[in-house]
Amino acid sequence: MSTPGRRQQRVGSLLHEALSRLLIQEIQNFSKSLVTVTRVEVTAELRTARVFLSVYGPDDPQSIIASLEKRTGFFRKSLASLVKLKYNPMLFFSLDPTPEYEQRIDELLESAKKRGRETA
């Protein structure tokens, strides 16, 4: 997988900032959870953006993702007025897997430490 170009990174950063603000305004209307945009990956042609989210709180993360996907049109329209781009990218929301990976790595490191203490 190739690394994103500078333009992709800049557009992703602009979308990240604008979507973060939009989500703060919109999520609090229907959710008690904290939803954060962790990163935005934009394709090379800048027409598709995958928005990675973290959900902290009592609500089911999948239901929040589903409700955001139902409102994709609203988010695209709002982004078009906030971020001036030639093409308004299609948005795809998904949960960020990074926290689970980090937790798994921590568990593996801790078990390795315990095994090292037992053998020493």
* Domain assignment of residue 50, yes or no: yes
* Domain assignment of residue 100, yes or no: yes
* Domain assignment of residue 34, yes or no: yes
Residue range of the domain that includes 61 = 6-119
Average pLDDT value over all residues in the chain: 85
* Domain assignment of residue 56, yes or no: yes
**Sign (positive/negative) of CA torsion 11, 13, 19, 21?**
negative
* Domain assignment of residue 1, yes or no: no
Q: Which three-class secondary structure string do you get for 23-83?
A: HHHHHCCCCCCEEEEEEEEECCCCCEEEEEEEEECCCCHHHHHHHHHHCHHHHHHHHHHHC
Does residue 5 have a pLDDT over 80?
yes
* Domain assignment of residue 43, yes or no: yes
The residue whose two tokens read 């990240």 is 16
Does residue 1 have a pLDDT over 50?
no
Q: What is the CATH number of the domain that holds 47?
A: 3.30.300.20
Looking at the 3D structure of the chain, how many domains does it have? 1
Q: How far apart are CA 115 and CA 111, in angstroms?
A: 6
63-83 exposure pattern, b = at least 16 Cβ within 10 A, e = fewer: ebbeebeeeeeebeebbeeee
Taking the whole predicted model, whether its pTM rises above 0.75 is answered as yes
pLDDT tens digits, one per residue of 24-33 = 887 777 777 7
Q: How far apart are CA 40 and CA 70, in angstroms?
A: 19
The residue whose two tokens read 């959900």 is 55
